[in-house]
A and B are shown apart, each in its own frame.
Chain A
Amino acid sequence: MADPLLERLHEALARSGLKREARAWALLAAWALAVAGLFALLLALARTPVVQDLLPWRGDGFFRKALVTHVDFSFVVWFLALLGVLLAFAAALLPKAGPAGAILGRIAVGLGILAFFLMALPALLDRGLPALNNYVPVLEDPIFMAGLVALFLALGLVSARLLAGMVRPERARDELALAGAAAALAILVSLLCFLIALGQLPKGLDPANWAEHLFWGGGHVLQFAYTILLVAIWQVLSRLAFDQPALSPALYRAALFAFLPFILAAPFFYARHPILSLELKNAFADLFLYGLVLPSLVAGLGVLTCWRQRTQPGGAAGLALILSVLLYGLGGLAGYTLGPNDTRIPAHYHAVIGGVNLAAMGFYYAVLLPLLGRPILGRKKMAVSLGLYGLGQFLWTAGMFLAGLLGVARKTAGAAQGLDSAPKTIAMTVMGVGGVMAVAGGVLFVALILYGLLAKRSRP
């Protein structure tokens, strides 16, 4: 552990007693991906002739429930648990991390684990009506809903803990502490938006409409927390890979600051526009267009500059970093061409999410495993997982984008897709190949990090 950043984090985690908490979040995030993968496998099996008759679940109902669970674990639980790691790191880096904070953290981790099971079980028990709404798809089932509440509560607790410990800004010098505070703010504001929407939505609304409009606003704000996490990881990985942070301290602070006005503005939209209105929906869409682009562009350019000026190869961290910036940038560009209801929408968000995932992969390999588990010895395995996942996502996005241009409606499968021309078939094939590669890379990644986190530590 020669790197001063890892050294400082290592020391802070030991001093604050928050190492176990950070490791618990890192494990929860890894298991979330494993469960998401398991449900993806079930989804594939449920659509495979012969095999589908052997499954204990039947029909379209199970398929949709499994899809909801897959999306929630790969998108909500995974990222929120990762934010749990960032928030634990940030809390540990504060000069005064007391025992009260550690107890609070333990409660939050407990809630997170509880949420994990409550959210995974209903689909397996074939319970609840699925709704594939945006951001947080749900099963209309008390167990599932309780799990969701527990998860949000857990993140709300650790967010509040961090902000309470940061009341005096001179305590927040460290890069990860600053990012943690910004992310904590985004999480709390997002929860506030959920609560406001919950209060404003009319009684007796259809469950599908209810879920869509409940999570629309806060869901948008939550993406700010994910993007802050991304910028923080880029900053750290760039330091580890190219011996130079992506952004100078002043620029880094400015990039983080640039998120804040938009996060803080979000709740006020509910006062300006009725809950069931196009104006409110579009207001939150504006938040992305106006609020996410500038800071992520600054950070992305910072990474590319560091990469151009590099004096060392960069290793797994460098590969993850560059793939992440490229895929995220591609997804961002695709976002400007969106049609209302075609496959360019998933092309956009899968690329953006893929970009964040690649950064997270590098974060596990270069930071989390050396600190919380044991580092992966074979560099090749890391590179293969990153390459497969990154290239697979590129192909998947390109195929999906192309299919969108050719007008394939999204989220429908099989005959309804209207695959009536050769270009469409080619686009969908490229997508399929990319998808398989990305899944293979993802499976290898999850296996590596679970092994790295769970294997007996060789280091004292």
Chain B
Amino acid sequence: MRQRLIATLIAVLSMVLLAVMPAWWRQPKGLSYALDPDQFAARTEAMAKAHASGRSTETGQPIVRPPEGDVYLMARRWSWYPVLELEAGRRYRLHVASQDVVHGFHLSLNDAERLLVPGRVEVVTVRAEKPGRFAIVCSDYCGLEHNGMQAPLLVTDKP
């Protein structure tokens, strides 16, 4: 008798779990918009040129220190461009897009994740309270060097 009761509970619980699964109601987070990859590259390049502040010894990419507001990050096989250096306590709108194939964007700072489908730009709000190094990794299999597709996000103290 007790066995049957537990069995019924298990069956009912499985249905409840199915019903409350976020899979049913999860909607795309945040903003995204369509933009030609070339135009996105031009915007990223303009930012990189205007606010260059060095070169990363780790990834070989230029380090860019843009002011508060819109910042750009390009994904391509198998790197991120450029390395961004942001200031703690400030709010940035990070525009991320892929230049070639589908990639995934994951930022350890706020656990933000987006799928980067070429031709669409994803917008992630970034605000770090404290300085530090945070990891950007590709979170969608994109080819043989997928696991090496990592970059730091640098956050510095206010000057």
B3 at the interface (CB under 8 A from A): yes
The answer on a CB contact under 8 Å between A279 and B26 is: yes
Question: What residues of chain A lie closer than 8 Å to B4, measured between beta carbons?
Answer: 250
B18 to chain A, nearest CB (A): 4
The answer on a CB contact under 8 Å between B142 and A278 is: no
The answer on a CB contact under 8 Å between B150 and A341 is: yes
The answer on a CB contact under 8 Å between B141 and A134 is: yes
Stretch at the interface among A225-233, A269-277, A394-402: A269-277
Which of A206, A265, A290, A416 contacts B101 (CB under 8 A)?
A206
Q: Mark B34-47, 1 if CB is under 8 A from A, else 0.
A: 00000000000000
Which of A211, A248, A287, A341 contacts B23 (CB under 8 A)?
A287
The answer on a CB contact under 8 Å between A409 and B147 is: yes
The answer on a CB contact under 8 Å between B17 and A290 is: yes
Q: Name the interface residues of B15-63: CB closer than 8 Å to any CB of A.
A: 15, 17-18, 20-24, 26-29
The answer on a CB contact under 8 Å between A298 and B141 is: no
A410 at the interface (CB under 8 A from B): yes
Task: Determine the main DSSP class of A at the interface with B.
Answer: helix
Nearest residue (CB) in A for B17 is A290
The answer on a CB contact under 8 Å between B138 and A341 is: yes
Bound complex: CA of A286 vs CA of B25, how far in Å?
12
Interface centre among A258, A259, A291 (most CB of B within 10 A): A258
B148 at the interface (CB under 8 A from A): yes
Size band of the B side of the interface? 35 or more
A67 to chain B, nearest CB (A): 10
Bound complex: CA of A64 vs CA of B143, how far in Å?
11
B102 at the interface (CB under 8 A from A): yes
Bound complex: CA of A127 vs CA of B85, how far in Å?
44
A361 to chain B, nearest CB (A): 28
Q: Name the interface residues of B111-159: CB closer than 8 Å to any CB of A.
A: 113-115, 117, 135, 137-144, 146-148, 150
B110 to chain A, nearest CB (A): 13
Question: What residues of chain A lie closer than 8 Å to B20, measured between beta carbons?
Answer: 290
Stretch at the interface among B6-14, B67-75, B87-95: B6-14
Nearest residue (CB) in A for B14 is A258
A294 at the interface (CB under 8 A from B): yes
The answer on a CB contact under 8 Å between B115 and A212 is: no
A4 at the interface (CB under 8 A from B): no
With A133-B141, A250-B4, A340-B139 as contacts: A278 and B114 at CB distance below 8 Å:
yes
Task: Determine the main DSSP class of B at the interface with A.
Answer: mixed
The answer on a CB contact under 8 Å between A340 and B7 is: no
B75 to chain A, nearest CB (A): 13
The answer on a CB contact under 8 Å between B10 and A277 is: no
A281 at the interface (CB under 8 A from B): yes
Nearest residue (CB) in B for A134 is B141
A237 at the interface (CB under 8 A from B): no
Interface centre among A286, A298, A341, A409 (most CB of B within 10 A): A341
The answer on a CB contact under 8 Å between B28 and A278 is: yes
Question: What residues of chain B lie closer than 8 Å to A265, measured between beta carbons?
Answer: 18, 21, 23
The answer on a CB contact under 8 Å between A209 and B101 is: yes
With A261-B15, A341-B150 as contacts: A282 and B101 at CB distance below 8 Å:
no
Question: What residues of chain B lie closer than 8 Å to A255, measured between beta carbons?
Answer: 10
Interface centre among A211, A253, A254, A265 (most CB of B within 10 A): A254
The answer on a CB contact under 8 Å between A282 and B148 is: no
Which of B8, B28, B148 contacts A416 (CB under 8 A)?
B148
Q: Mark A124-148, 1 if CB is under 8 A from B, else 0.
A: 0000001111100000000000000
A391 at the interface (CB under 8 A from B): no
The answer on a CB contact under 8 Å between B27 and A279 is: yes
Nearest residue (CB) in A for B1 is A250
Bound complex: CA of A117 vs CA of B132, how far in Å?
52
Bound complex: CA of A287 vs CA of B23, how far in Å?
8
Question: What residues of chain A lie closer than 8 Å to B26, measured between beta carbons?
Answer: 279, 282-283
The answer on a CB contact under 8 Å between A412 and B18 is: no
Which of B14, B22, B106 contacts A340 (CB under 8 A)?
B106
With A254-B8, A294-B10, A411-B147 as contacts: A209 and B141 at CB distance below 8 Å:
yes
Question: What residues of chain A lie closer than 8 Å to B18, measured between beta carbons?
Answer: 261-262, 265, 290-291
A104 at the interface (CB under 8 A from B): no
Question: What residues of chain A lie closer than 8 Å to B117, measured between beta carbons?
Answer: 276
A261 to chain B, nearest CB (A): 4
With A258-B13, A291-B17 as contacts: A341 and B7 at CB distance below 8 Å:
no
Q: Name the interface residues of A404-452: CB closer than 8 Å to any CB of B.
A: 409-412, 416
Q: Name the interface residues of A39-54: CB closer than 8 Å to any CB of B.
A: none
A205 at the interface (CB under 8 A from B): yes
The answer on a CB contact under 8 Å between B147 and A250 is: no
Bound complex: CA of A131 vs CA of B143, how far in Å?
6
A223 to chain B, nearest CB (A): 16
- Counting from the closest, the 8 A-B pairs by CB-CB distance are A283-B23, A258-B14, A254-B7, A206-B101, A250-B7, A212-B141, A341-B137, A254-B10
Given A208-B143, A257-B14, A276-B115, 7 new contacts (CB under 8 A): A209-B102, A254-B10, A265-B18, A277-B115, A278-B29, A286-B21, A294-B10
